[in-house]
């Protein structure tokens, strides 16, 4: 089992998370991620640093840890050619260290850039085309164009191509998206709290030929459990309601989360006060098919968590 940290970026200014990036690498975690959010999942005290500005700064501050975006939808905010060019540029400057996470998106992040929020089927088709465009940009040896249902452009030349193979982590929370992940991604990212995640996501991914790494993501924190539950109740708890993927107002998302019971929050997320709590949770995820777990860290004392991880958690994996 590999273990990574998603700093998320929703609670503090971006420079705070740059310092934490160095601590994550020093502790020995396997990966570091940063959320791509135009708006946070909550309003009070929320932040939304631009991931594609933060990531190159974090790559410069660190030495070797892989750093990824968690996740970018190359659909409305970004044209896939822009994502392809940006990722290739990062790989030229920091070869082999950038990870591209992609997904079909959330309305809270995309609604200013699209007139109506499309169905998942439409967004899935659009993401399929986007991945074809991105991979063509990365690999074409001459001018190329594209003529799809959602993206179309006359021939262009890919002047900035990656120097290594950029791994694509494809987000999925159901069997249909898991099949897309197997076809168009190199690895699968799913949410640990998805009901029956093994049969609903992991097995469809494997059955469709997906042979990459399976990454389970969870919101999690280390420290005073009751205080952490309070923090998540007014921030990330709204992610437990699938219908909130179609919500566009962080104020309503926050209110939705505050109506979710503490018992449900405790069940869905990782709240740990000891290293053994974390290790037991990791064992549970490995049994469900996870190869790599990523904790979206909501700890108040993140440095304490990373010290415990360095001394007790990571050596045990």
DSSP state of 165: P
Q: Are the C-beta atoms of 68 and 31 separated by less than 8 Å?
A: yes
Residue 106 is among the residues annotated as catalytic for this protein: yes
What the block records as the tokens of 66 is 């892989």
What residue ranges in 13-65 does DSSP mark as E strands? 31-34
How far is Cα 62 from Cα 122, in angstroms, rounded to an integer?
38
How far is Cα 214 from Cα 207, in angstroms, rounded to an integer?
13
Q: Per-residue b/e over 183-216, b at no fewer than 16 CB within 10 Å?
A: ebbbbbbbbbbbeebeebbbebbbeeebebebbb
Cis peptide before 71 (omega within 30 of 0): yes
Query: How many residues are listed for the chain in this entry?
Result: 317
How far is Cα 303 from Cα 301, in angstroms, rounded to an integer?
6
3-state secondary structure of 185: coil
What the block records as the tokens of 109 is 């992040």
Catalytic-role residue among 25, 37, 129, 187: 37
Catalytic-role residue among 106, 110, 129, 247: 106
What is the residue whose two structure tokens read 């990791």? 282
Q: Are the C-beta atoms of 170 and 180 separated by less than 8 Å?
A: yes
DSSP state of 248: -
Residue 184 is among the residues annotated as catalytic for this protein: no
DSSP lists the bridge partners of residue 218 as 295
Which are the catalytic amino acids?
A: 37, 106
């Amino acid at each position: 089992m590999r273990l990574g940290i998603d700093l998320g970026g929703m609670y503090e200014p971006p420079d705070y998370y740059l310092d934490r990036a160095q601590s994550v690498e020093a502790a020995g975690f396997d990966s570091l991620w940063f959320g791509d959010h135009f708006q946070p999942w909550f309003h009070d005290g929320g932040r939304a640093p631009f991931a594609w500005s933060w990531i190159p700064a974090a790559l410069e501050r660190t030495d070797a840890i892989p750093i990824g975006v968690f996740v970018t939808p190359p659909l409305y905010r970004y044209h896939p050619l822009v994502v392809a060019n940006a990722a290739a540029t990062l790989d030229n400057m920091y070869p082999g260290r950038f990870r591209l996470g992609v997904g079909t998106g959330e309305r809270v992040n995309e609604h200013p850039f699209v007139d109506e929020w499309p169905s998942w089927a439409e967004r899935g088709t659009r993401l399929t085309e986007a991945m074809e465009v991105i991979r063509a940009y990365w690999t074409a040896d001459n001018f190329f164009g594209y003529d799809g249902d959602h993206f179309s452009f006359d021939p262009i030349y890919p002047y900035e191509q990656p120097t290594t193979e950029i791994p694509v982590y494809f987000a999925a929370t159901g069997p249909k998206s898991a099949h897309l992940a197997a076809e168009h991604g190199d690895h699968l990212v799913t949410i640990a709290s998805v009901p029956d995640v093994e049969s609903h996501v992991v097995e469809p991914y494997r059955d469709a030929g997906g042979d990459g790494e399976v990454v389970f993501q969870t919101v999690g924190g280390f420290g005073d459990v009751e205080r952490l539950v309070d923090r998540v109740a007014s921030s990330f708890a709204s992610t437990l309601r699938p219908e909130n993927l179609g919500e566009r107002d962080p104020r309503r998302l926050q209110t939705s989360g505050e109506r979710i019971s503490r018992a449900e929050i405790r069940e869905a997320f990782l709240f740990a006060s000891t290293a053994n709590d974390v290790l037991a949770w990791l064992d549970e995820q490995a049994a469900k098919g996870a190869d790599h777990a990523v904790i979206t860290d909501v700890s108040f004392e993140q440095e304490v968590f990373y010290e415990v991880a360095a001394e007790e958690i990571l050596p045990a994996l």
